[in-house]
Structure 1
Amino acid sequence: MSTAVQSVDRALTLLELIAADPEGSRLSDLARAAALAPSTTHRLLTALEQRGFALSDATTGRWHIGRRAHVVGAAWGTARSLRIPAIPQLRRLRDASRETANMGVIEDGHVITIAQAESREIMRAISSPGGRTPVFCSGMGKAIVATWRDDQIDHLIDLYGLTAATAHSLTKRETIHAEIARIRDQGYALDDEEYVIGLRCVAAVIMNPDGEALAALSISGLAARMTPEKVTRCAELVTATARDLSGRMTL
């Protein structure tokens, strides 16, 4: 086992040990349970803490699971609960549009594609599940944040900035707000070659019964095929599907 792999294995072992004790664990106990030297244990725990996966309590000297570990753990259940009912709908969108259908959620200023039904066309849009796109370069990202308050959108911009992926990317705060107003009015979002030149995407948001955004659906295809007429048709398809899923997908 290489040194790097061994370090990862040891860090994960420590994370499992911390998670097993809700009262928190002392460094000496963790070192003993993991069969590691206290100095090695401290080094690994410090690395985990810097990434938010572990948290030390200076008062008690105990180590606890960090916020980031909860986020990562919850993501598995969230993504799975969203994907299962969406897969048949994504396939229907794919077949009706002959383009790629996607589902995504927002995490850390990016949209993560969590499910996809890939187009059967030889030339097609490809963004594999797990792919990350800056929120404001993504139709799905813009569809989701259009449900947020304006101050929440500003906070997102302040945290992550506005990334220019292509010459069509939106890079000004006032342009973003104008785009969000348009999305709210028309009920769907458009990525018009804003992340990849030659690709166009139409997206709509999936809501829970409380009116909160859970995820977004999109249809993406080559800009040459996604004519204004096809964009209108795809917008009808994706918004209808998003409405059908909304309220049935609770977390």
Structure 2
Amino acid sequence: MTPTLLIPGLVCTAELFAPQIPALWSHGPVTIASTLEGDTIAGMAAAILRDAPPRFALGGLSMGGYVALEILRQAPERVVKLALLDTAARPDTPEQSTQRRALIARVEAGELEAVLRQIAPNLLHPDHRMDQRLIEVQVRMGLAVGAAGFVRQQTAIIGRIDSRPRLADIKVPTVILVGDKDALTPPDRSEEMAAALPDARLVVVPNCGHASTLEQPEVVTAALVEWLTA
């Protein structure tokens, strides 16, 4: 069976994919990659490839999607399938980079938990922004990654390249999944990738924001199982 390698998003841990792992495991071994090495998206990808199986199905959410696209640049022959969740191929806008630098400054001043609690609700569908369970999961993951990890990952995201020119070169079967109310990487970003990839299927998850694996775990799990077994 083909191994599956999943890459978490910004300041996320393996807990991001906890609802999906049991179902995916029945179709092959599942590894959650660490994003704690590397100061750039390219560096993270290289570190993950160093420890990854020879060939694997690859998935990433948000920042994990940026890293997944970089893995396709560095070692396309090792990826047999691709899943891009709540992510985008575009680089940061100047406004987004400015916002990230402001958050970095606050975290460097010792405000990591306050920053995490501020941004966590914005990752969720409007109907879920008062869901304390979902907020606490995100805060817990962010605290586990830590302040240095937050700064390193945000800096890497600011410096990421535009992946759109290379999308047409990705020939593997791909599922692109996005929450219908994802405010960080809106559905039009996923539609853009789906239109550019030669073999892509787009899944828009209803009643869902940016944290799709946690907000709508059953829908996301079903889509990933279908992707793996197709």
Instruction: Give TM-score scaled by structure 1 length.
Output: 0.24
Q: Which has the higher helix share?
A: 2
Instruction: Give TM-score scaled by structure 2 length.
Output: 0.25
Q: Which has the higher strand share?
A: 1
Rg larger for: 1
The structure with higher relative contact order (CA 8 Å, sep 6+) is 2
